[in-house]
Structure 1
């Protein structure tokens, strides 16, 4: 029974694949002739349609005949050079006009996105850069490019890199700086990390601390997969211990709240606004920093707005976080 069911499934998948390929072949053969068909239908005259579209009349006539042959139905009733739609032609025209309208809208959209003065940039960045760094960058960029639009995405590093690969982002600011054959990445700056402790903690009266002094503490961290979590784990290993993690989250400011509540300590970048209830200590050893890099898909052509914003970001190497 199971064997027969499996065989049937394999046959079903095979049939679906063949049908899908056939549908794709049909679309490829029909697509170039749809605009010709709509033009003849609009004028109901082959000569006038050919003149409007700037194609030889013979080319237009052959395209319509071939279209009818591929569909297996007559789209026009012919009286000399004058034609009129058949019932099948009217049905087909309604769908063709919708399809051509969608194509025109898509063309207008991509042209608008690529407009040098008013195009669009899809830009991703880390959550911790969203409250201050990115708004300041965009404000400075738009001083010279006031009409360029942005689609902004906040996420953790690996998720943004996947969106780069999927073509959903043009550029992203991430950490650590990725090293992958399909991506181009440039180091822009580095950000010092601090050991954040509750304001009544035994280390709270200090200004500086060696990370090894927190070896027995409970840590609150970002979830695995986040760049800052990997950096935290690596720094603790360099200091000679594995952190005991009590809570994992997705936002640095949530972690600060957990620290303020006395639930642990954390390694975090500086906050945009000081938070009460915590003390932020400089880590003297090991050197606690995270590198911030700009990444984009290798070989992916830039539109003029994307190229302009990329040049702007690369020009801020070393002062990105200033």
Structure 2
């Protein structure tokens, strides 16, 4: 069994409770997690807690139920799954994603992505005319009442070098907070909004048109995953605006500390894309960051996201 260390045991400095040195090791799963071997696919871990390469299957909509069950267990265990050499088309991509639930249509891409519509398969094309701006740590669409459950991203065209994506494990991030900080944030609720992110790339009249449809929403700062009971940190620098019910100064202090904590490399995995690579991640349990280091090279990705549920907190 993996040894579990709390940051509270590693002597943080008096001025910064998260400035610790030494082992930062978290459990990958709850102790009660079903650790049975995988029989229908091969799982190759990328880091101790987050990210695994899956081989031995082709991603289509007709995968056997038994294989899908193992994929669901692997997603809960590793948070993000990588599949290489998946020479599939858009219809196969869609069919595979539909096995996980209803597909989501992003309401803002047609306003912020050149040539984009509100189709369920979104083509995100970046080049000298449209640079990548997703280089901030975030969970997708937390400004929605029902943030995405998961996303399936397929590499169509990638730069010769650069354009990697990183994911951060929010279960490990929560577990490795000092106990007093966990107790402090466990009951809190935060406001999430899109105005300072997507809104920056829209004309004012478009923002005014969309605002009534998509008001700011509130979610628990610590989210509980129904299938596992795992607690995860659910605040991100992309969309979380403030913590409700405390002073602005305390909210800023807490969020700044949590956002910095998420950036610890011990919680992260990094994927170097190749054509026909597919990544699928649990949007509830990890944040992601698309490195924007390849401009003006071309990078084209097809993205599908799956509808999620209302986040549940510890006291819900």
TM class by shorter chain equals: under 0.3
TM-score (normalizing by structure 1): 0.20
- In terms of Rg, which structure is larger? 1
Q: Which has the higher contact order (CA 8 A, sep 6+)?
A: 2
**Structure (1/2) with the larger helix percentage:** 1
